[in-house]
């Protein structure tokens, strides 16, 4: 019996995450299943993590930019990733549901809920092992300017990649609108709090084993 944590950016939601004043410089990174915190990060032995980004529109380029941003959050290479051409041996797979949007340059001034992402880590509850691959599914909504869709995908892919690093909190608890891991994201790059949180996560003993 497989259990999934569904990490969903409901880009259609107009709700803002409440700010968490005075709670220090990090937010909650773990989710909880059956009362147990699900703490995961990619260990040294699995680096570089292999990301397959389907050759759909700009997805490989957007993914590459997002991965480089996340790698840059670490001083000592605690997380490293590479785009991987073989989906059968990839750790993470990114795809569109329903095909890529019309090509356009992102207009980053347009903060429009024009797309959505879902990241699904599957954890075997008997062995507390993450299954491979972790899947990121992206979709976009017609009726929006192509430049707004492209900008939304820049934000949402970067956000979903954050989940794939081990930021599994599906409720984005403790984030605020300045954080890339807020849901939905309104910024294009990790904040200082995103950086602090992911650094703490990568120096916290995991409870979930890696898939290889």
Interface residue list for Zn ion (CB under 5 A) = 7, 9, 183
First to last CA, the chain: 20
Write the CA distances from 132 to 6, 15, 61, 90, 185, integer angstroms. Answer: 15, 33, 23, 8, 26
Q: Which is nearer to Zn ion, 59 or 147 (CB)?
A: 59
CB of 103 to Zn ion, least distance (A): 26
Map 102-169 to HEC letters: CCCCCCCCCCCCCEEEEEECEEECCCCEECCCEEEEEEECCCCCHHHHHHHHHHHHHHHHHHHHCCCC
Q: Is 9 helix (H, G, I), strand (E, B) or coil?
A: strand
Residue (7 or 153) nearer to Zn ion, CB: 7
Q: How far is the CB of 12 from Zn ion (least distance, A)?
A: 14
Name the residue nearer to Zn ion (CB basis): 8 or 47.
Answer: 8
**3-state class of 59 per DSSP?**
helix
Q: How far is the CB of 3 from Zn ion (least distance, A)?
A: 18
Residue 78 C-beta: closest distance to Zn ion, Å? 21
Which residue, 183 or 190, is less far from Zn ion as judged by CB? Answer: 183
In the complex, minimum distance from the CB of residue 9 to Zn ion, in angstroms, rounded to a whole number? 5
9 or 59: CB nearest Zn ion: 9
Beta bridge partners of 122: 4
CB-based closest residue to Zn ion: 183
> What are the DSSP calls for 81-100, one per residue?
EEE-S-GGG-SEEEEESS-P
Distance from C-alpha of 155 to C-alpha of 140, rounded to nearest angstrom: 12
Task: Quote the least distance from Cβ 32 to Zn ion, whole Å.
Answer: 16
Q: Which is nearer to Zn ion, 11 or 151 (CB)?
A: 11
């Amino acid at each position: 019996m497989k259990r999934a944590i569904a990490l969903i950016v409901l880009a259609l939601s107009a709700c803002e995450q409440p700010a968490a004043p005075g709670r220090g410089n990090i937010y909650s990174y773990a989710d909880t299943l059956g009362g147990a915190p699900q703490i995961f990060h990619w260990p040294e032995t699995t680096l570089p993590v292999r990301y397959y980004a389907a050759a759909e529109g700009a997805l490989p380029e957007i993914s590459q930019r997002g991965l480089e941003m996340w790698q840059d959050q670490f001083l000592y290479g605690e997380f490293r990733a590479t785009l991987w051409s073989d989906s059968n041996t990839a750790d993470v797979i990114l795809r569109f549901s329903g095909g890529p949007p019309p090509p356009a340059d992102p207009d980053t001034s347009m903060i429009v809920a024009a797309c959505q992402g879902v990241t699904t880590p599957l954890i075997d509850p008997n062995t507390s092992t993450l299954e491979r691959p972790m899947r990121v599914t992206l979709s976009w909504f017609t009726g929006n300017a192509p430049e707004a869709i492209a900008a939304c995908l820049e934000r949402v892919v970067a956000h979903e990649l954050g989940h794939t690093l081990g930021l599994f909190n599906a409720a984005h608890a403790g984030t605020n609108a300045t954080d890339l891991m807020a849901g939905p994201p309104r910024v294009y790059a990790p904040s200082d709090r995103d950086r602090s949180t992911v650094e703490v996560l990568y120096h916290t003993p995991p409870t979930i084993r890696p898939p290889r």
